[in-house]
Amino acid sequence: MAGAPGGGGPGPAAGEPLLQRRDSGQGSPQPPAHGKPQEAFLSGFFTQDQSCPLMLQKTLETNPYVKVLLDAMKHSGCPVNKGRHFSCEDCDGNVSGGFDASASQIVLCQNNIRNQAHMSRVVTHELIHAFDHCRAHVHWFSDVRHLACSEIRAASLSGDCSLLNEIFRLRFGLRRHHQICVRDRAALSIVAVRNISREEAQKAVDDVFESCFNDREPFGRIPHTKMYARYAHRDFQNRDRYYSNI
């Protein structure tokens, strides 16, 4: 199960109650919803308009950040299947998406995802959680530092904190703005899915920041723009080729 996408693959022990259904850094402190993924999946694809699945399809086919992560998931033994591992749903508040570790599923909030670029950012952010879930024994619920680590990586590597996004949020700032933004958004994401204070969330982020911020797998760099993401994809493919030739 929890082996993330791929169900039955390598990963944390089955039965771990992992549900992280509402985050993506939108900071909405809604409790996680417990639904039946299969029903949600069906309603998402057959009774809503098709824009969510169509945008998802385009993101999976064309976005360079997503291509890196899909290759990395496959390489780590957790191949991603569009029909099985994504679910378009209506969500409360202003959350854009979440990673439901217990169902190995990425929830896409079709009522809040505004456009193609937004869809790509949400899918990238959640795939980083799925990648972490695939490669490590992440204790999403019992150790908030594990969650903090993955949120730091998702905020840093997904483009959530790219300069352009920050300008749109009217936070244009200093040279260190990327790190400040990452700390900020990671803490907001934690508060959105855990019943803890902003201070506690901030402390968890601070505790693990150095090592998690410096862990840039599978990109190997911070992909500030799509161009960097394309380089990262090329490097990842070459890395793969190199290893297979040994």
The window from 52-60, 156-164, 185-193, 204-212 that contacts Zn ion (CB under 5 A) reads 185-193
Interface residue with Zn ion, options 16, 23, 71, 160 (CB under 5 A): 23
Least CB distance from residue 189 to Zn ion, whole Å? Answer: 4
Q: At what angle do helices 51-62 and 37-46 cross, to 10 degrees?
A: 100
Q: How far is the CB of 237 from Zn ion (least distance, A)?
A: 26
Residue with smaller CB distance to Zn ion, 72 or 130: 130
- Does residue 189 belong to the site contacting Zn ion (CB under 5 A)? yes
Interacting residues with Zn ion between 59 and 88 (CB under 5 A): none
Site for Zn ion in 129-168 (CB under 5 A): 151, 154
**Sign (positive or negative) of CA dihedral 159, 165, 167, 170:** negative
Tell me which residue of 132, 118, 153, 125 sits closest to 5, measured CA to CA.
132
CB of 20 to Zn ion, least distance (A): 7
How many residues of this chain bind Zn ion (CB under 5 A)? 4
- Cα 3 to Cα 51, 59, 162, distances in angstroms: 29, 23, 30
Q: How far, in Å, CA of 199 to CA of 177, rounded? A: 20
The smaller minimum CB distance to Zn ion, of residues 61 and 126, is found at: 126
51-62 vs 64-75: helix crossing angle, rounded to 10: 80
In the complex, the smallest distance separating the C-beta of residue 121 from Zn ion, rounded to whole angstroms, is 11
DSSP 77: T
Q: Note the residues at the interface with Zn ion (CB under 5 A).
A: 23, 151, 154, 189
